[in-house]
Chains A and B, each alone.
Chain A
């Protein structure tokens, strides 16, 4: 895999700095290793990556087991904000952390846009 990490990381950085109320993002492998990330300080990249992979794998399994079909995203809503996981390609999972103030519609749109860019780079 000759990944262009520099480009991937700049897509992530643009997404985080260019979308209101987004606090961080990470691109990780499905087995939970970091590819690239822009995370709030104090958040451990390795741990975030492992948790993303675990959560997506369980979500996908729940989706199929409970007949919800293939999973577009997993959405965690807390009183301090959102965590949104999307499967990017077979080789990458996209995690976004957003503040509670974020507008969900805008967020989803921006995630979709970034996903398209990331997919091109990962292809």
Chain B
């Protein structure tokens, strides 16, 4: 059995834990705790260490899905998780533009530590105020001419949508590295 480690990262509330919960075949390991900071205004719980889920991918391959915390005080977990990733996905809530700059900082953090394939997942696109892809990419620093990672709309609550994102990431990863062939 070959194991591919996928890391799911992104700002608080982007949908990392939900994403993993939507597709995992095992009961996910979550480390969500009641939020006592400003996150509590948005949602009840927040991840303090990691999420872990698993997904069988063909007879010979298993995907291990690791979700990071969103808050910068847990950046030691970002570091631990990203260094071992075979590929990663950064989720951004498209309707919360005030978080784009933070997402961009997270991207830089990851890019300083890994060169593995990346996919950008835009969540919350069904909600009012969601930015269009081109504008969001600009806000994340992908100015014209700069190579862009693939981008997708993802609804973390929707199993099919999450599965599509994972397949796209695995394919992107195969195209880039040619190593992981389910």
Contact = CB atoms under 8 A, between A and B. Distances in A.
- Do A and B originate from a single complex? yes
A33 B29 contact: no
Interface stretch (B73-81, B139-147, B169-177): B73-81
Contact of A54 (B29, B39, B74): B74
A64 B110 CA distance: 32
Given A57-B31, A58-B31, A65-B29, A30 B76 contact: no
Interface residues of A, number: 18
A123 to B, nearest CB: 17
Given A32-B74, A55-B49, 8 more contacts: A31-B34, A31-B35, A31-B39, A33-B36, A53-B48, A54-B69, A54-B76, A61-B31
Interface of B: 29, 31, 33-37, 39, 46, 48-50, 69, 71, 73-74, 76-77
Interface string A30-69: 1111000000000000110111011101100100010000
Contact of A57 (B37, B48, B76): B48
A29 interface: yes
30 contacts: A29-B36, A30-B33, A30-B34, A31-B33, A31-B34, A31-B35, A31-B36, A31-B39, A32-B33, A32-B48, A32-B73, A32-B74, A33-B73, A46-B73, A47-B76, A50-B48, A50-B76, A51-B76, A53-B48, A53-B49, A54-B31, A54-B48, A54-B69, A54-B76, A54-B77, A57-B33, A57-B48, A58-B49, A61-B31, A91-B36
Interface of A: 29-33, 46-47, 49-51, 53-55, 57-58, 61, 65, 91
* Among all A-B residue pairs, the 9 with the closest Cβ atoms: A57-B31, A54-B49, A50-B73, A30-B33, A31-B33, A53-B48, A29-B36, A57-B49, A57-B48
Contacts of B36: 29, 31, 33, 91
Contacts of A57: 31, 33, 48-49
Contacts of B35: 31
